[in-house]
Amino acid sequence: SYELTQPPSVSVSPGQTARITCSADALPKRFASWYQQKPGQAPVLVIYKDSERPSGIPERFSGSSSGTTVTLTISGVQAEDEADYYCQSADSSGTYVFGTGTKVTVL
């Protein structure tokens, strides 16, 4: 089955840059999306189509893609960015998969 692997945790100081990777175990890879989830809340879409940002999402959130790896970058991290982040994509049959999730801690 298609798998998306993320680092379990990322720690960053306020104002610094956090980068979260999401690696697919096979090609081809469809576009990826990223979600932010805070405790007790539903996920929120922060990036779609690898690098597009929905309206209302701060510019400090950006996405990029290279080969089978996509990356979510949070520039100038703020305390409110502390959350779990999940990537998501699909395999060639249209089955959707979420990444393993990354806990971002703001020191």
Partner 1 sequence: QVHLVQSGAEVKKPGSSVKVSCKASGGTFNNFTINWVRQAPGQGLEWMGGIIPIFTTTNYAQKFQGRVSIIADESTGTASMELSSLRSDDTAVYFCAGERTYFYGSGSYYRGGWFDPWGQGTLVTVSS
> Residue by residue, what is the 3-state secondary structure of 7-73?
CCEEEECCCCCEEEEEEECCCCCCCCEEEEECCCCCCEEEEECCCECCCCCCCCEEEEEECCEEEEE
The nearer residue to partner 1, 101 or 106, going by C-beta atoms, is 101
Exactly one of 12, 45, 51, 60 binds partner 1 (CB under 8 A); that residue is 45
Exactly one of 23, 31, 60, 62 binds partner 1 (CB under 8 A); that residue is 31
Exactly one of 21, 30, 62, 68 binds partner 1 (CB under 8 A); that residue is 30
Q: What's the rounded Cα separation, in Å, for the pair 21 and 96?
A: 18
Least spacing, CB of residue 52 vs partner 1, in Å? 8
The nearer residue to partner 1, 14 or 50, going by C-beta atoms, is 50
Rg of the chain (C-alpha set)? 13
Exactly one of 7, 23, 43, 75 binds partner 1 (CB under 8 A); that residue is 43
